[in-house]
Each structure stands twice: as structure tokens, then as C-alpha cells.
Chains A and B, each alone.
Chain A
């Protein structure tokens, strides 16, 4: 175990603490041999949009390596702290590590500085991790394209941010999607928002969840790297909401009911 009463003082930056303890997150200067990117786990559809109480974040469950389906129960929506969620597309190894670092970073800051990290600080923290990962992203072996959703308790307002692989952040007013299956559903989301039964931001949580399930099923129909739900094996998309009360994942039992309703045809 590291640490002693003589090694202290910090601005609440967990990454700085990791660096001082010998762990280096940054891979920017890592020199590695080219890797066959088709052998790496990747391929996804994740999406997020505003609904009437907050933001909803959803993702399929499949992980692929090239043409091979490697895993059908991958959780691509990850809680970071009570009021933030990260949806991941790209290489899971890097994405999961980013999520772990972020989670510890936010909690370490809150506990050490005796106040939560600001929404802006949280948004920048993910951006910095992506920027530091640029080396591996450009080599094609560690690219991650996340969606970050938060609820700002002071402003009482949800935020959705989309990031590119190099760390640029874009605030999303309505909806976003990323991953190999996202082009299939982005148009549907736009259509639903403009000409659907009601704008996305006015839909209830249940309405939002039903749409998210349909969108992921649609993406899976056209993108082999996006997994369809398999109710017979209790494999459903992963869907979470983020509101003033914090994040909440739909449990499998609830997903089973929603899935049944969402798949009904006119």
C-alpha cells in the first residue's frame, strides 16, 4: 500500500496522484508496433437524448473483434458518479480504463476538496483523457468515442456531450449517437425530434426508453457490430436515465416488459 503521512498535499487531482504513484495514464508518446486493429474488440451503437426530466443514455451489448462476435453482455453505459454517465464506443479496454479513472477522479476531488467537481471540470476531465490517448487513437488501437451525460444540480439541468476521439467536446441540445451503428439511427432521431409524436425533450422516461430500444434494434438490423436484444437469454440493451435524483439503470425485469411493448407493430 502506498502513501505515508509524509506524502501528501494535492489539488484533488486523482490523475496527478496516480502519476506520483508510478501509474502513467498518458499514452501519447508510447511507441508500439502496428497492431492489426481488426483483432481488437470494438463496434457499438450508443445514443443519448434529452427527455422531459433529464437525459436518457442507451447502448447495445455486443463486443466484436473484426467479424467475430466476442461478447453479448457488454455494459457500454457506465456510471461515473451519482450524476454522470459515460456511454462508450470504441476499444473497451481504453474506454473502461477511462471510466475507472474518471470515477475515481470525481470522487477523489469531492472527498478531498470537500465539494463536488464542477460540471465544466467533469467535462474537461474526459476531454483531457481523450487528448492524452491521442497516440493510441491515431495508431488505430485505442480509439474511444464517448458520450458523456451529466446532471448539474446547481443549474438543475441535464447536459449531454459528444466527444471526438482527440478530445474535442460538443454540447448536444437534443440527441446524439456514436459507434458503428450510429449513422443508421441519427436520421431517425432527428426525424422523431422534428416530426415525431412529440419532441424528444418532451417525452416521458417510458416513451424515451421505448424509442431507445427501437433505435438500437434498428441499428442492429443494419450494423453487424451492434447486437440485437435476445429476450430468450435475458439480453436487453442497457438503458439508464440521469435526472436530479441521479442515475438509474432499468433492471432486466423492467427491460423485459419495455422490450415487449416496444416491439409491437402497428
Chain B
């Protein structure tokens, strides 16, 4: 079936289309810096969008929950074994991706007889200079690194627009409350961008009020403003409440 190069390329192309179609409705997840670290946020219909991976690493995701869970556990295993066998200072997203999960995902994607991972992953890390770093990882193993923040979304137009806005916003100067508010605003505006290209009723824009009404806002920070070794903490309902009030 794949004895000719063209057939293989066609199969890969079809596979890309299949995965992208499956991810199309994935809601955006944003990761941005703020005054005391890094913030990750996204709306979700079901809990399980943003996770703690290691002392200084947070994971955001969209896609099939089973695939997200499988990759999350793999990353957790790798991070904790590395931290135990060597040091917590040897656990970085860069190493986890480059020497761990990215090659495995590429291999998985190109083995066209195996089911592909239906995921996009987003990572935030506070490095040992206390600076935030952001990565995303695609279902085919491709990853990119960002300094000013990053976004994943099922819709390319949406994510490109939000990414551009993130690059133009000085999130690093904002306190958490304002950074979260601004991230929510970009999320909402991003949805409007994608809505303009879709005629599907289900894809109609969702304002923040509707989003808060229909879904749950998951948000977490990696905060350097702590003496704890693990920098991750969930943004509390009390911190989210003013956003809900403002949206309504």
C-alpha cells in the first residue's frame, strides 16, 4: 500500500487532515507571563485542561482526554524519574520534549497504521533564572518555544491571532488579576476571529459571559512569589469571581 513514496505522503496528508478535523473544536489555552511568574488559562466543558507536571512546569492541553491523559502520565513519569535519579534542576521542558516525548510523537504520527494522538499540548516553565518560558507541542511531534507566551487552539486562525496579540502585550508587567483579565479578553476576541470564517452555527462566537455560563475557567500559575519548591498553584474561585462578575 505504501510502497510508493507518493502513497506514503498521501497517507500522511490524510492523517494531518483527520487529526486537524478532530481537533477543530478544541478551545484555546493561553500561557502568558505575569509579574510573579507564568499564568495558564482556558475554558473547558469537562475538568482536565491544565495540570501540574513538575515543580516548575505546568501543562495545558486540548484534544481527546484519553490521549491527553496518556501523554500527561508519560511526562509525569519521565519528569519524576529524572528528578529522582538526577536532580530537579535537570527536569526541564526542553529536555522532556527534545529527548523524550517529541520523537515518540513524531514516530507515532508517521506510523500510519497506528492511531494518531489527537492532542495539542502547551507548556509553561519557570527556569532556574526565574524567567518564564513557553512551549507548544503538536500532535506530530513538532514543538516551538516562546518567550512572551503561547497559545494552542483547534482553530489555526484563532491561535495565530491570539499569538500575535500575546506578542504585542506586555504581560510580564501585569499583576495576576490584570494578566488573567487580559488573557480572558484575548480568548474572547480570538473566538470572534475564528467565528468570522465559519458558517457553522455550533461555531458561533462565545462571549465571556456565555463562556462562564457554559464552561469552567481553569487557570493556574507558576508563582515565584513563594518559598515552596513547587511553584504551581490553581487560581482560586475567589480570584476568578471578579472576572465572572465583570463579564455579566
Q: Which residues of A contact B (CB under 8 A)?
A: 1-5, 7-10, 14, 17-18, 21, 23, 79, 82, 100-101, 104, 107-108, 110-112, 114, 246, 248
| CB <8 Å contact, B228 and A8 | no
Task: Name the B residues within 8 Å of A10 (CB-CB).
Answer: 73, 77
| CB <8 Å contact, A104 and B84 | yes
Report the bound CA distance from A111 to B227 in whole Å.
Answer: 19
| CB <8 Å contact, B104 and A18 | no
Contacting B76 at CB < 8 Å: which of A18, A79, A108? Answer: A108
| CB <8 Å contact, B71 and A21 | no
| CB <8 Å contact, A3 and B105 | no
Task: Name the A residues within 8 Å of B76 (CB-CB).
Answer: 108, 111-112
Report the bound CA distance from A240 to B237 in whole Å.
Answer: 31
Q: Give chain B nearest CB distance to A1 CB in angstroms.
A: 5
> When A5-B71, A7-B74, A82-B230 are in contact, do A108 and B99 touch as well, CB less than 8 Å?
no
Task: Name the B residues within 8 Å of A5 (CB-CB).
Answer: 70-71, 74, 101, 104-105, 108, 117
Q: Give chain B nearest CB distance to A235 CB in angstroms.
A: 23
Does B78 make an interface contact (CB < 8 A)? yes
Task: Name the B residues within 8 Å of A21 (CB-CB).
Answer: 81
Task: Name the B residues within 8 Å of A4 (CB-CB).
Answer: 74, 100, 104
Q: Which of B73, B227, B229 has the most CB of A within 10 A?
A: B73
> When A4-B74, A111-B52 are in contact, do A18 and B81 touch as well, CB less than 8 Å?
yes
Report the bound CA distance from A111 to B54 in whole Å.
Answer: 8
Does B95 make an interface contact (CB < 8 A)? yes
Interchain residue pairs A-B with the least CB separation, the first 10: A3-B78, A8-B73, A3-B77, A104-B84, A108-B80, A4-B104, A1-B100, A1-B99, A111-B52, A5-B104
Q: Give chain A nearest CB distance to B2 CB in angstroms.
A: 22
Contacting B84 at CB < 8 Å: which of A8, A18, A82, A248? Answer: A18
List 8 A-B pairs, Cβ < 8 Å.
A1-B78, A5-B117, A14-B84, A17-B77, A17-B81, A21-B81, A111-B76, A112-B73
> Which residue from chain A places its CB closest to the CB of B72 in the assembled complex?
A112
Report the bound CA distance from A155 to B75 in whole Å.
Answer: 33
Task: Name the A residues within 8 Å of B229 (CB-CB).
Answer: 79
Q: Which of A2, A4, A111 has the most CB of B within 10 A?
A: A111
| CB <8 Å contact, A8 and B52 | no
Q: Give chain A nearest CB distance to B68 CB in angstroms.
A: 12
| CB <8 Å contact, B74 and A8 | yes
A2-B81, A3-B100, A82-B228 known; 13 other A-B pairs, CB under 8 Å?
A: A1-B82, A5-B117, A8-B74, A14-B84, A17-B77, A79-B229, A104-B83, A107-B230, A108-B76, A111-B54, A111-B76, A112-B73, A246-B228
> Which residue from chain B places its CB closest to the CB of A110 in the assembled complex?
B52
> Dominant SS at the B interface?
helix
Report the bound CA distance from A18 to B82 in whole Å.
Answer: 11
Report the bound CA distance from A18 to B230 in whole Å.
Answer: 21
Does B166 make an interface contact (CB < 8 A)? no
Task: Name the A residues within 8 Å of B55 (CB-CB).
Answer: 107
Report the bound CA distance from A111 to B53 in whole Å.
Answer: 7
Does B51 make an interface contact (CB < 8 A)? yes
Q: Give chain B nearest CB distance to A25 CB in angstroms.
A: 11
Task: Name the B residues within 8 Å of A100 (CB-CB).
Answer: 84
Contacting A7 at CB < 8 Å: which of B77, B80, B108, B227? Answer: B77
> When A111-B53, A246-B228 are in contact, do A17 and B74 touch as well, CB less than 8 Å?
no
Residues 101 to 158 of chain B near chain A (Cβ within 8 Å): 101, 104-105, 108, 117
Q: Which of B71, B105, B229 has the most CB of A within 10 A?
A: B229
Task: Name the A residues within 8 Å of B83 (CB-CB).
Answer: 104
Task: Name the A residues within 8 Å of B230 (CB-CB).
Answer: 82, 107
Task: Name the B residues within 8 Å of A110 (CB-CB).
Answer: 52
| CB <8 Å contact, A8 and B77 | yes
Task: Name the B residues within 8 Å of A248 (CB-CB).
Answer: 227
Q: Which of B51, B54, B76, B95 has the most CB of A within 10 A?
A: B76
Residues 63 to 99 of chain B near chain A (Cβ within 8 Å): 70-71, 73-74, 76-78, 80-85, 95-96, 99
Task: Name the A residues within 8 Å of B104 (CB-CB).
Answer: 4-5
Q: Give chain B nearest CB distance to A141 CB in angstroms.
A: 23
Report the bound CA distance from A14 to B54 in whole Å.
Answer: 14
> Which residue from chain B places its CB closest to the CB of A82 in the assembled complex?
B228
Report the bound CA distance from A10 to B77 in whole Å.
Answer: 9
Task: Name the B residues within 8 Å of A101 (CB-CB).
Answer: 84
Q: Give chain B nearest CB distance to A255 CB in angstroms.
A: 17
Q: Give chain B nearest CB distance to A83 CB in angstroms.
A: 11
| CB <8 Å contact, A104 and B80 | yes
Task: Name the B residues within 8 Å of A111 (CB-CB).
Answer: 51-54, 76
Report the bound CA distance from A82 to B76 in whole Å.
Answer: 19
B214-248 interface code vs A (CB 8 A; 1 in, 0 out): 00000000000001111000000000000000000
